[in-house]
C-alpha cells in the first residue's frame, strides 16, 4: 500500500512546497523560474488562456482571431464547447482556485495506479511521477491535466457492467470533444460483443454529431490556430526525427528521410517479432485487469498523439498509465529486460526537459538549433520515443488481440 501512495505523496509535498514559495516567498518563485530557463510567468498560465477565452467570447470578441483578455494574447486553439461554458467560469479570480483544484485532483487520481513491483519499480514510478513533465503540466494547469483525471477515473468503469462501460466511453468521447485526442480511446469498443459495440457506436456518432456539427466552422478555425513547432523544441511526434534530420542535412533530404524511415521500420519489426513470442503473449494475458486497462488507455493515447502529429511535452504524463504494466511484464517474463528497460525509458523521456536545459546551458547552440551535445541528446530522445511507442504497440495489440471486434486479420496475424 505504501508503495502505491508514495509517488503521489512525494508529488503532493513538492507541489505544496512550490505553492508555498509562490504565496509567501516573495520573488523567489520567479527567480527560480528564470534560473531554470523559464519565463517568469505566474502559475496556471494555460488555464488562464482557456478562462480568458471564455471571458472574451462572452464579451463578443472573436477569440479565434484575437484574445485581448489573455496575458499573452493567445488565440483559442481548443474546442468551441469551452466557450459555451458559463461566463462566470472565465472570471480571473477563479484561476488560482481552479488551478489548485486541478493539481490536487491529478495527484489524487494517481492513487488509482497499482503499486509498482519491487524497489526498482518504485524508483522508476517515483521518477516518472515527480518528473519535470508532470510538474510542468500542473504548474501550467494545462487542460491535459483535466483530461488525465477524467480518463483515469473512468478506467475502473471498464471492468463493470454494460452501463458502467458505456459511461466510460461517454467520458472518453466527452473529453475528445473538448480536446480532440481522447477520441482515440473509442477503439476500446472492439472489446465489446458485436451488438453491444454497435449500440455504443451509434451512441458515439450521435454525441459526435451533436457536439461537432453545430460548430464545425469553429473547430476548423481552432485547429488552424495550432501552429507547428520546431523539431528541436520540447514537443514530440513521429515526424520530428525526420524533420530534424532534414533541417540538419538540407543537401541530403533523401538520406534524412531514409534514416527516419529506417527507424520507423525498425520499430515495426520490433513489434512484429515480440508479438510472435508465445511467452510475451502469455505474460500479456496474465496482466491484472487494472494494469491491462490502464496500459490500454495510456498506450492508445500516446500512440495516437505520437503517430498523428505533435504534442507538447507535458502530454507525455499519459505514459504514467503504462508504467505499472511495463514493470509487471518485466516481472512475469524470465527475459523481461525489454519491458523493464522501456519503463526506465519512460522515466528518461519525462525528465528530458531538465536534461535538455542543462545541456543547453553547458553547451549552447545557435538559435533554435542545439549544440553538438544537445543534438546527441535530441537524437537519443527521438529514437527512444520510437522504442517506447513500439513497446506500447506490443502491449496494446497483445491486449486487444482476443477482442471480439479485432477481426480476422488480428486473430490470424498473431498467435
- Residues 351-406 have pLDDT tens digits of 998 888 888 888 887 777 788 888 899 999 999 999 999 999 999 999 998 888 66
Position 409 pLDDT exceeds 50:
no
The predicted pLDDT at position 359 comes to 87
Give the mean model confidence (pLDDT) for residues 199-206.
92
Contact between residue 124 and residue 344 where contact means Cβ atoms under 8 Å apart? yes
Query: Which residue's entry shows cell 537524437?
Result: 379
Residue 37's pLDDT band (cuts 50, 70, 90) = low
Q: Which residue has the higher pLDDT, 155 or 26?
A: 155
For residues 32-53, give the mean pLDDT: 84
pLDDT > 90 in the chain, percent: 61
In DSSP terms, which residues pair with 311 in a beta bridge? 236
The pLDDT of residue 80 is above 90? yes
3-state secondary structure of 366: strand
pLDDT tens figures, 224-273? 998 777 778 778 999 888 888 888 887 778 888 888 889 999 999 999 99
Give yes or no for residue 412 having a pLDDT over 70. Answer: no
Average pLDDT, the chain: 89
Q: Note whether 249 and 255 are within 8 A (CB).
A: yes
Name 319's Cβ contacts closer than 8 Å, sequence gap at least 6.
128, 298, 302, 346, 349, 350, 388
Predicted confidence (pLDDT) per residue in 311-336, tens digit: 888 899 999 999 999 999 998 888 78
What is the rounded average pLDDT of the residues 158-176? 94
Average pLDDT rounded to a whole number, residues 102-106: 95
Nearest to 295 by CA among 400, 149, 415: 400
Specify the pLDDT at position 407. 55
In the predicted structure, residue 414 carries a pLDDT above the cut 50: no
What pLDDT is recorded for position 19?
87
Is the pLDDT at 410 greater than 50? The verdict is: no
Buried b (16+ CB within 10 A) or exposed e, 240-262: bbbbbbbeeeeeeeeebeebbee
- Out of 58-67, 292-301, 331-340, pick the least confident: 331-340
Lowest mean pLDDT among 44-58, 106-120, 202-216, 398-412: 398-412
CA gap 321, 156 in Å, rounded = 13
Q: Are 136 and 306 in contact, with CB atoms under 8 Å apart?
A: no
The pLDDT of residue 364: 82
Average pLDDT of 62-70? 93
Q: Would you say residue 18 has pLDDT above 90?
A: no
The owner of cell 462566470 is 88
Distance of CA 271 to the CA centre of its chain: 21
What whole-number distance in Å separates Cα of residue 77 and Cα of residue 347? 29
Query: Does 215 have pLDDT greater than 60?
Result: yes
CA distance 234 to 370: 12
DSSP 65: T
Amino acid at each position: 500500500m505504501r508503495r502505491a501512495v508514495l509517488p503521489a505523496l512525494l508529488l503532493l509535498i513538492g507541489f505544496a512546497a512550490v505553492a508555498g514559495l509562490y504565496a509567501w516567498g516573495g520573488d523567489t518563485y520567479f527567480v527560480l523560474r528564470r534560473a531554470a530557463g523559464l519565463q517568469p510567468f505566474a502559475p496556471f498560465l494555460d488555464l488562464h488562456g482557456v478562462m480568458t477565452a471564455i471571458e472574451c467570447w462572452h464579451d463578443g470578441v472573436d477569440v479565434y482571431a484575437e484574445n485581448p483578455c489573455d496575458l499573452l494574447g493567445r488565440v483559442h486553439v481548443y474546442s468551441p464547447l469551452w466557450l459555451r461554458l458559463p461566463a462566470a467560469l472565465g472570471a480571473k479570480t477563479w484561476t488560482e482556485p481552479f488551478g489548485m483544484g486541478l493539481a490536487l485532483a491529478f495527484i489524487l487520481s494517481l492513487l488509482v495506479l497499482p503499486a509498482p513491483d519491487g524497489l526498482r519499480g518504485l524508483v522508476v514510478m517515483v521518477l516518472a511521477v515527480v518528473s519535470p513533465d508532470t510538474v510542468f503540466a500542473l504548474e501550467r494547469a494545462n487542460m491535459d491535466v483535466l483530461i488525465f483525471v477524467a480518463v483515469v477515473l473512468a478506467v475502473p468503469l471498464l471492468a463493470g457492467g454494460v452501463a458502467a462501460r458505456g459511461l466510460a466511453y461517454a467520458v472518453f468521447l466527452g473529453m475528445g470533444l473538448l480536446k480532440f485526442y481522447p477520441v482515440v480511446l473509442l477503439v476500446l469498443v472492439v472489446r465489446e460483443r458485436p451488438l453491444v459495440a454497435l449500440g455504443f457506436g451509434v451512441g458515439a456518432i450521435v454525441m459526435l454529431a451533436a457536439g461537432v456539427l453545430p460548430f464545425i466552422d469553429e473547430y476548423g478555425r481552432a485547429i488552424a490556430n495550432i501552429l507547428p513547432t520546431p523539431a528541436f523544441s520540447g514537443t514530440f511526434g513521429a515526424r520530428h526525427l525526420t524533420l530534424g534530420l532534414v533541417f540538419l542535412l538540407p543537401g541530403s533530404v533523401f538520406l534524412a528521410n531514409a534514416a527516419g524511415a529506417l527507424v520507423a521500420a525498425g520499430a515495426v519489426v520490433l513489434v512484429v517479432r515480440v508479438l510472435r513470442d508465445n511467452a510475451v503473449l502469455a505474460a500479456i494475458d496474465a496482466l491484472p485487469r487494472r494494469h491491462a486497462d490502464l496500459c490500454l488507455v495510456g498506450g492508445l493515447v500516446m500512440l495516437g498523439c505520437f503517430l498523428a502529429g505533435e504534442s507538447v511535452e507535458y502530454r507525455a504524463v499519459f505514459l504514467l498509465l503504462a508504467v505499472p504494466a511495463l514493470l509487471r511484464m518485466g516481472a512475469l517474463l524470465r527475459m523481461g529486460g525489454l519491458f523493464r528497460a522501456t519503463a526506465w525509458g519512460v522515466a528518461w523521456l519525462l525528465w528530458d526537459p531538465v536534461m535538455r536545459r542543462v545541456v543547453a546551458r553547458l553547451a549552447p547552440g545557435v538559435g533554435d538549433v542545439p549544440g553538438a551535445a544537445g543534438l546527441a541528446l535530441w537524437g537519443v530522445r527521438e529514437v527512444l520515443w520510437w522504442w517506447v511507442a513500439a513497446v506500447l504497440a506490443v502491449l496494446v495489440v497483445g491486449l486487444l488481440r482476443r477482442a471480439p471486434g479485432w477481426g480476422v486479420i488480428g486473430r490470424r496475424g498473431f498467435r
